[in-house]
Amino acid sequence: MRSCQGPQLRPAHKRTSPARHMPPGPRQAASGTQPLWAVGATPSTCHQHVIFPPRDRPPGVPFVVPPSFQDRDWVPLNSGEWAQVPRDPCPAPELLPHTSSSNLGIVGTINPELYKFLDDTSETDFPEGCLGRLWFSLEYQQEAERLLVGLIKARRLQGPSETCSPLVKLHLLPDERRFLQSKTKRKTSNPQFDEHFIFQVSSKSITQRVLRFSVYHVDRQRKHQLLGQVFFPLKNETLAGDCRRLIWRDLEAESLEPPSEFGDLQFCLGYNDCLRRLTVVVLRAKGLQLQEDTSFVSVCVKVSLMNHNKFVKCKKTSAVLGSANPVYSETFSFKADPAELDTASLSLTVLQGAEGEKSHALGRVVVGPYMYARGKQLEHWNEMFSKPKELVKRWHALCRTTEP
């Protein structure tokens, strides 16, 4: 038989000339011609140039985006609140400020400035006379109509002695009978609870409810001594969105004074002379004398700014249903020049409304200068000016009035 007279094959380890490793030209690429080693040609094929792949070419490295194991971030909000929201899957790159070459670090080192977090002063910045601080989380599931409450921790609890054994009771007001309770933490003023509770409440009534945390000290005889309380109204903005909100609040002392004849109202006053803004925070009321023969009762507070006993402007809180101890925690602001405050006053009227009936006043409080107020009402007004950077909080007894 006649042997093939084609060119001799080169050894695989021997380097070929650069001309044989040039990529195919446009015509070759257009015709779909491929190297024989790519289509499975064998070295015994006659009259063909066999081109082997270069041994020094590194293998291809696939580009893989690592998965995100945590797709939710904590976002700081106002009033010591944090919300957990979905993380942006495609965040925009942050532009670093221009720096001179003398300020550049060594290549390959970690710049600690890029990994700094905002300082959380909620565990270090306590006001004078603070009874303690409570951290908790809230989430409302619309479909299941469940309120998820996470009791996280408490700090700086002021017990009757050096040792404190705290527990927390949770009420969903106005229901005073049913409550949930945490475990007792022994001998600590900084308990870590990490407990979860569930309240079944409809979406229609959730905005009318108030979550109350009552912190107790349990002594050796297992008696409960109240250390302080936290009232948190469940407003629409609080439960907006499908997210879990982290909140902290300072404990409030229980009012030891018995309710007045017509009830009491707690509110804050503050004035900012730079912004010429008068701020009123309506907190809560207690001991209101509601109508007993009415099945559907709502209570709100009307805040009126007066000047020379003439009406200037008024604002109202939201209505709270069926409670003689409603909680509001609503803030209102009024524009008022410093020169006008000598003749200005604030009137806070508690109104009761019933279905199909006209609302009527349960009581009223007037605070202002000496021309319009006396006693605690005058002291509250003067203290507002002596502490311009604070919101001054006080209880006031309601007086009967015929104002609608």
User: How does pLDDT run across 203-246, given as a tens digit for each residue?
Assistant: 888 888 889 999 999 988 888 999 999 999 888 666 766 678 89
The per-residue pLDDT for 117 is: 41
Residue 66: inside a domain, yes or no?
no
Between 401 and 22, the more confident residue is 401
Q: Flag whether 303 is in a domain.
A: yes
Better-scored residue on pLDDT, 323 or 270: 270
Looking at the structure, tell me whether residues 303 and 244 fall in a common domain: no
386 and 274 in one domain?
yes
pLDDT value for 32: 47
Alpha-carbon span 334 to 343, nearest angstrom: 15
Cβ 266 vs Cβ 387: under 8 Å:
no
Q: Are residue 345 and residue 312 in the same domain, yes or no?
A: yes
Residue 67 CA to residue 280 CA, distance in Å, equals: 49
Separation CA 281–CA 303 (nearest Å): 10
Give the integer Cα–Cα distance in Å for 194 and 224. 21
Asked if the peptide bond before residue 174 counts as cis, ω within 30 degrees of 0, the response is yes
pLDDT score for 64: 54
Residue 304 structure tokens: 């009126």
Span 255-269, mean pLDDT? 87
What pLDDT does residue 174 have?
83
Give residue for tokens 């475990």.
Answer: 183
Residues 277 and 393 grouped into a single domain? yes
Convert the pLDDT of each residue in 359-404 to its tens digit: 889 999 999 999 899 999 999 999 999 998 789 999 999 998 765 4
Domain encompassing residue 23? 1-52
> Where does a domain end: 12, 29, 52?
52
Q: Residue 207 domain-assigned?
A: yes
How high is the pLDDT of residue 160? 82
Average pLDDT over the chain, rounded to an integer: 77
Burial class (CB in 10 A: 0-12, 13-18, 19+), 340: middle
Identify whether 204 is part of a domain: yes
Tell me, yes or no, whether 201 and 293 share the same domain: no
Q: For residues 300-322, give the mean pLDDT.
A: 92
The answer to whether residues 156 and 246 belong to one domain is yes
Q: Which of 107-116, 298-307, 373-382 has the lowest mean pLDDT?
A: 107-116
Rounded to an integer, the average pLDDT of 279-291 is 91
pLDDT of residue 235: 80
Distance of CA 368 to the CA centre of its chain: 35
Q: Tell me how many domains the chain contains.
A: 3
pLDDT for position 162: 77
Whether residues 244 and 275 share a domain: the answer is no
- Choose one of 199, 220, 250: the last residue of a domain: 250
Question: Which of 195, 220, 250 is at the close of a domain?
Answer: 250
CA gap 166, 170 in Å, rounded: 13
What CATH number corresponds to the domain at position 226?
A: 2.60.40.150
pLDDT band at 38 (very low <50, low <70, confident <90, very high): very low
Looking at residues 350-364, what average pLDDT do you find?
85
- Res 14 pLDDT > 80: no
3-state helix, strand and coil shares in percent for the chain, rounded to the nearest 5:
10, 35, 55
Which tokens belong to 211? Answer: 């979550």
Q: Which residues lie closer than 8 Å to 363 by C-beta, 6 or more apart?
A: 262, 263, 265, 288, 349, 350, 398, 399, 400, 401
Is residue 302 in a domain? Answer: yes
> What pLDDT was estimated at residue 217?
94
Q: How confident is the model at residue 330 (pLDDT cuts 50, 70, 90)?
A: very high
pLDDT at residue 374, as a whole number: 92
d(CA 253, CA 61): 65
Residues 284 and 381 in one domain: yes
Q: Is residue 48 part of a domain?
A: yes
Averaged pLDDT for residues 65-77: 52
Task: Pick the range with the lowest mean pLDDT from 51-55, 145-149, 374-378.
Answer: 51-55
Same domain, 170 and 207: yes
pTM, rounded to two decimals: 0.61
Least confident range of 20-24, 52-56, 200-204: 20-24
DSSP codes of every residue in 146-214: EEEEEEEEEES---SSS---EEEEEEEET--S--EE-PPPPS-SS-EEEEEEEEE--TTTGGG-EEEEE
Query: Rounded to whole angstroms, how far apart are CA atoms 285 and 288?
Result: 7
74 confidence band (pLDDT: 50, 70, 90):
low
Tokens of 274: 């730079």
224 and 149 in a common domain: yes
- Lowest model confidence (mean pLDDT) among 33-42, 112-121, 246-255, 275-284: 33-42
Q: What is the predicted pLDDT for the residue at 57? A: 58
Q: What is the rounded average pLDDT of the residues 296-305?
A: 91
* Dihedral pair phi/psi, residue 18, rounded to 5°: -60, -30
Please indicate, yes or no, whether residues 239 and 299 belong to a single structural domain of this protein: no
- Position 125 pLDDT exceeds 50: yes
> In this structure, are 224 and 287 located in the same domain?
no
Confidence label for 313 from pLDDT (cuts 50, 70 and 90): very high
Of 31 and 362, more confident: 362
